[in-house]
């Protein structure tokens, strides 16, 4: 079980460090307990995300994510809030990506402001006039849709 938070805010300030001290995660029974930090930090929801990766064909990967919104229950006579997986609303997401492109995009998070990325649009889409990478991506999407349609049709 991994705890993930938004990257846009600093997590080394007092409300977050206090919250972390009052948080407990049990991977064996998949429960989390925590306390909100009054007037500073209130947990509105917790999503439990399980990701499975499937190699479609080189270099394309499909990530199927099961996302569960964990129900949060306040404990009587205490400030503790309890969340347990297996009892919340569930939805699924699917993401298809080119592994080589993802590596290029991840370089963006490591460059300083004003620096130019080492990759170009032609690296991603392919050089004109064929744009072979784009064509390959569209073919992969069509193959995936076709496979999913066969699975759904056979179960109906």
In a domain, 11, yes or no: yes
Please report whether residue 111 resides in a domain: no
Q: How many domains does the chain have?
A: 1
Per-residue confidence (pLDDT) for residue 116, from 0 to 100: 86
**β-sheet with 89-98: strand ranges across:** 46-57, 60-70, 89-98
Q: Averaged in consecutive runs of 10 residues, what is the pLDDT profile of the chain (156 residues)?
A: 50 76 90 90 92 85 92 93 94 87 83 85 74 79 81 70
Within 5-131, residue ranges assigned H as helices are 14-21, 99-108, 121-125
**What residues make up the domain containing 3?**
1-98
Considering the domain boundaries, does residue 153 fall inside one? no
- What pLDDT is stored for residue 94 in this prediction? 87
pTM: 0.68
Is residue 138 in a domain? no
For residue 132, the model assigns a pLDDT of 76
Judge whether 16 lies within some domain: yes
pLDDT at 23: 93
In a domain, 144, yes or no: no
Torsion, CA 18, CA 19, CA 21, CA 26, rounded to 10 = 180
Two structure tokens written together for 40: 């500073």
Which pLDDT value is given to residue 120?
Answer: 83
94 within some domain:
yes
Are 65 and 95 in contact, with CB atoms under 8 Å apart? yes
SS3 percent helix, strand, coil of the chain, rounded to 5, is 30, 30, 40
Output DSSP code: residue 41: B
Residue matched to tokens 């919104």 = 69
- Going by the DSSP 8-state scheme, the letter that residue 88 receives in this structure is S
Asked whether residue 89 is domain-assigned, the answer is yes
125 prior amide bond cis, ω within 30: no
């Amino acid at each position: 079980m991994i705890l993930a938070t938004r990257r846009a805010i600093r997590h080394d300030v007092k409300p977050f460090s206090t919250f972390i001290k009052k948080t407990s995660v049990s991977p064996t029974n998949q429960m989390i307990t925590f306390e909100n930090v009054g007037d500073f930090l209130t947990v509105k929801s917790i999503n439990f995300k399980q990701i499975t990766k499937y190699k479609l064909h080189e270099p394309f990967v499909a990530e199927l994510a099961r996302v569960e919104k964990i129900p949060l229950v306040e404990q009587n006579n205490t400030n503790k809030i309890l969340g347990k997986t297996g009892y919340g609303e569930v939805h699924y997401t699917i993401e298809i990506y080119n592994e080589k492109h993802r590596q290029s995009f991840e370089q963006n998070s490591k460059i300083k402001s004003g620096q130019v990325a080492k990759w170009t649009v032609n690296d991603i889409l392919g050089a004109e006039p064929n744009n072979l990478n784009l064509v390959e991506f569209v073919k992969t999407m069509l193959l995936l849709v076709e496979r999913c349609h066969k699975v759904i049709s056979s179960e109906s």
